[in-house]
Chain A
Amino acid sequence: MNVITIKNFRNALVTALWFMFLTFPIMVIKVNTTENLIVWRWHNLLYVGATAFTASLLTALYRQYRDRKRSQQQQEEGTSRVSWNERFFNTPAIARPVCALGALFFLVFPLLFSTYQVNIMTTALMYVVLGLGLNIVVGVAGLLNLGYVAFYAVGAYTYALLNMHYGVGFWVALPLGGIMAALFGILLGFPVLRLRGDYLAIVTLGFGEIILLVLKNWSEFSQGPGGISNISRPGLFNIQLSMEATLNYQYYLTIAMVLLTIFVINRLQNSRIGRALFALREDEIACQAMGIDKTTIKLTAFALGATWAGLAGVFFAAKNAYINPDSFTFLESAMILCIVVLGGMGSILGVIIGALVLILLPEYLRAFSDYRMLAFGAILVSMMIFRPQGIVANIRQSYRSSKDGAP
């Protein structure tokens, strides 16, 4: 039974008072230094107190629930726990129709909804590709890359510049963008991948900022903060398409891209490289002891992740027909990381759900769009504390010996 004891109550009260004290200067007083005006917002203190009180009680309840579940599990030792998504995938009678319905929905989406919705969905699907790409680096290989958006920028600018100077078309630029991003990935990864994971995080963060600063300041090369406009949209055998048809065409292209990504990553995970990456994530030293070259395998993961970002970048430039450095800030990197963490690191289905939730929800909850980044931060922290495996936990292929006669 869940009970709220007096002790929980007292703790919650202390927490509430502490947070009221903590947030007092920032939440209550608002100063206008130019006109020397001060606004006192005492009501905010009430909100903070109430929120902290409730949150504290809920956490206490959650802890009780978790402890009870743990002791239950200890009693029923021997029966392996099966997560909901594992059950889902292992029951073809449910999984197949659901997957088919999902596929059908995405296929007929442009027929059912307006071009505005199609456009948003295309954006969301692009984030699915980005999320899946980052997933190789963060989820599978366990390397925290905080400058992922830099590779996205490399892809986008590769296409934009080639298109502007030489009139290179989308289909030629697509592989080039991927290759360029991969080269940048190797260039960056080479010096730092021999180091500990934490350094990698900060160096990639710095790298993202460098790329952004160069794009902003080197005007002769990238046209500076003004950006590049009039980028050609993807072509279809030189057929002239109407505006709506172009949007639908882009939508289906993105779908194809997502499918390709899912296919490649799915194959990758069960390949030799994929297993080496999982081993790397679990324990670097043990992984080296098993004869895996750490640097090579890390570079592979890094370059693979960067390639997808580059491809998505080319798509992005072609879809918007206009790019500028503001699309490639750290916030984008944080958002993509949030997609991977929320969905479930290493899990393909998780990343897809994560991307759709995090991109589509803010679009439809416009009123709360100011609070979007606040929510991202809170999601990252609370997911790590309460559900580190994400919404959809990754299923690892497992092999069981059939000594006791079980299949």
Chain B
Amino acid sequence: MEYFLELVFSGLTRGSIYALIALGYTMVYGIIGLINFAHGEIYMIGAFTALIIATVLNMYGLPLPAVLILAAIAAIVWSAAYGFTVERVAYRPLRGAPRLSPLISAIGMSIFLQNYVMLAQTPNFLPFPTLIPEPAFLEPIASMVGTTDLTILLVTTVVMVLLTLLIKFTRTGKAMRATSQDRTMAFLVGVNVDTVISITFVIGSSLAAIGGVLIASHIGQINFYIGFIAGIKAFTAAVLGGIGSIPGAVLGSFVLGLTESFATGYVSSAYEDVFAFSLLVLILIFRPAGLLGKASIEKV
């Protein structure tokens, strides 16, 4: 039973991280219909920025909570800046180009960012500093669920609520929903589509950065390649839930996280990624619109 609960918690933790990344995919896809392959790299850059800033601040002897908050803010700021720049450089010039062009450009950007971090920093794994303390009162359940797991679950929940409020009740959220329904029509009624797209990239990247900081402190080490696999899996989660749908992305992420956790716990850990991809293929065969997505009919 304890093993089962341990797997449930580890599945939920994974699911939360996937959710934070998958939201970026699904939002961008909802608005411009592009798989942003470079999104995983944004997440990786977030983790790297946090690591660098945290190490520097540690050297200057700042207290731990301050380091944690400043590093997380830096990660969000720079990830958002990277997301914004990637959209401006690699996707905006290709609006209206054939479908394949932005997709290839996105893959190019992903390869570029990976190698940029590898060359500028290091190809090896870097240990991530311990930023989240282990308080004593959690001792009894520490074998099943660590403080980082709880932090991840808590932060993800808060972020999800904030995001839902933003999209449902603010002007920006309304503009985003309008743009994703019909870009031309939104433009005609006075929505600044370019700004909305930029905002979407910034929000998606910030979420990915939060995910990056959390997973890095959970696993304890990072390298330039973590974004690639995490990106594919988060995308799988987004497709699983129905791409373009925000609750779908969250649901899909938890399904994927739990599936992976049980599969590695009860079957074999060597094939962890195989389970994720097989799940993706199965979903695409039997329910291509995803769990919560609506099947769309293309009109001509």
Using a CB-CB cutoff of 8 Å, which residues 226-266 of chain A contact chain B? none
Is A25 on the interface with B (CB-CB < 8 A)?
A: yes
Q: Please give, as numbers and ranges, the residues of chain A lying within 8 Å of B34 by CB-CB distance.
A: 198
**A290 interface hit (Cβ, 8 Å):** no
The answer to whether residues A205 and B100 also contact, given A373-B115, A377-B113, A377-B115 and a CB cut-off of 8 A, is no
Min CB gap B31→A, angstroms = 14
The minimal Cβ–Cβ distance linking B103 to chain A, given in whole angstroms, is 6
Spot the interface stretch: A3-11, A157-165, A210-218, A272-280: A210-218
Chain B proximity of A283: nearest CB distance (Å): 9
Q: Which residues of A contact B229 (CB under 8 A)?
A: 209
B277–A210 CB distance below 8 A:
yes
List the A side residues contacting B117 at CB < 8 Å: 26
A206 interface neighbour in B100, B109, B232, Cβ under 8 Å: B232
List chain A residues, Cβ under 8 A from B102: 384
CB of B105 closer than 8 Å to a CB of A: yes
Residues of B contacting A206 with CB < 8 Å? 232, 236, 276-277, 280-281
**Which residues from B are CB-within-8-Å of A381?**
89-90, 105, 108-109, 112
**Does A27 belong to the interface (CB within 8 Å)?**
yes
Contact of B235 among A33, A191, A202 (CB under 8 A): A202
Stretch at the interface among B46-54, B153-161, B178-186, B248-256: B46-54
Q: Name the distance in Å between B228's Cβ and chain A's nearest Cβ.
A: 8
A22→B112 contact, CB < 8 A: no
In this complex, how many residues of chain B approach chain A with their Cβ under 8 Å: the count is 69
Is B129 located at the chain interface by the 8 A CB criterion?
Answer: yes
Q: In the assembled complex, which residues on chain B have CB atoms less than 8 Å from the CB atom of A26?
A: 45, 48-49, 52, 116-117, 120-121
Q: Are A142 and B85 closer than 8 Å at their CB atoms?
A: no
A334 to B115, CA, bound (A): 13
In the assembled complex, how far is the CB of residue B125 from the closest CB belonging to chain A, in whole angstroms? 10
**Does the CB pair A27–B51 fall under 8 Å?**
no
| B300 at interface, CB cutoff 8 A | yes
Distance (whole angstroms) from the CB of A58 to the closest CB of chain B: 14
In the complex the two chains form, what is the Cα distance from A334 to B278 in whole Å? Answer: 22
Q: Within the assembled complex, what's the spacing in Å between the Cα atoms of A100 and B112?
A: 39
Q: Chain B residues with Cβ under 8 A from A30's Cβ?
A: 120-122
B180: min CB distance to chain A, Å: 16
Q: How far is the CB of B61 from chain A (nearest CB, A)?
A: 12
- B81 CB within 8 Å of chain A: yes
**A197-B100, A377-B108 known; A33-B284 Cβ under 8 A:** no
Give the segment of B14-22, B195-203, B267-275 that binds chain A: B267-275
Given A36-B59, A206-B277, A210-B277, the answer on whether A374 and B115 have CB atoms closer than 8 Å is yes
Does chain A have a CB within 8 A of B78? yes
A27–B129 alpha-carbon span in the complex (Å) = 20
From residue A22, how far is it (CB to closest CB) to chain B in Å? Answer: 5
A33 touches B127 (CB 8 A): yes
Residue of A with least CB distance to B35 = A198
When distances are taken between beta carbons in the complex, the residues of chain B under 8 Å from A38 are 55-56, 59
Of residues A23, A36, A210, A381, which shows the largest number of chain B Cβ atoms within 10 Å of its Cβ? A381
Say yes or no: is B285 at the interface (Cβ < 8 Å to chain A): yes
Identify which of residues 142-173 in chain A touch chain B, using a CB-to-CB cut-off of 8 Å.
Answer: 142, 144, 146
Per-position 1/0 for B10-50, Cβ under 8 A of A? 00000000000000000000000011000000000100110
A88 at the interface (CB under 8 A from B): no
Cβ contact within 8 Å between B104 and A33: no
Residues of A within 8 A of B90 (CB): 381, 384-385
A214: B residues at CB distance < 8 A: 274
Is B110 an interface residue, CB under 8 A from the partner? yes
Residues of chain A lying within 8 A (CB to CB) of residue B192: none
Do the beta carbons of B100 and A378 come within 8 Å of each other? Answer: no
Chain-A contact segment, one of B91-99, B140-148, B168-176, B204-212: B91-99
List, in ascending order, chain B residues with CB within 8 A of A101's CB.
Answer: none
Which chain A residues border B105 with CB–CB below 8 Å? 380-381, 384-385
29 residue pairs bridging A and B, Cβ less than 8 Å apart: A25-B52, A26-B49, A26-B120, A33-B126, A34-B127, A36-B55, A36-B58, A38-B55, A144-B100, A144-B104, A192-B284, A192-B285, A197-B99, A199-B288, A202-B236, A203-B277, A203-B280, A207-B281, A209-B229, A209-B273, A217-B270, A371-B115, A371-B119, A374-B111, A377-B111, A381-B90, A381-B109, A384-B101, A388-B101
17 further A-B contacts with Cβ under 8 Å, apart from A31-B56, A381-B90, are A18-B85, A22-B78, A26-B117, A31-B51, A33-B127, A144-B100, A198-B34, A199-B284, A201-B35, A203-B277, A207-B281, A209-B229, A371-B115, A374-B111, A377-B115, A380-B109, A381-B108
A binding-site residues for B, Cβ under 8 Å: 18-19, 21-23, 25-27, 29-31, 33-34, 36, 38, 44, 138, 142, 144, 146, 191-192, 194-195, 197-199, 201-203, 205-207, 209-210, 213-214, 217, 285, 330, 334, 337, 341, 370-371, 373-374, 376-381, 384-385, 388
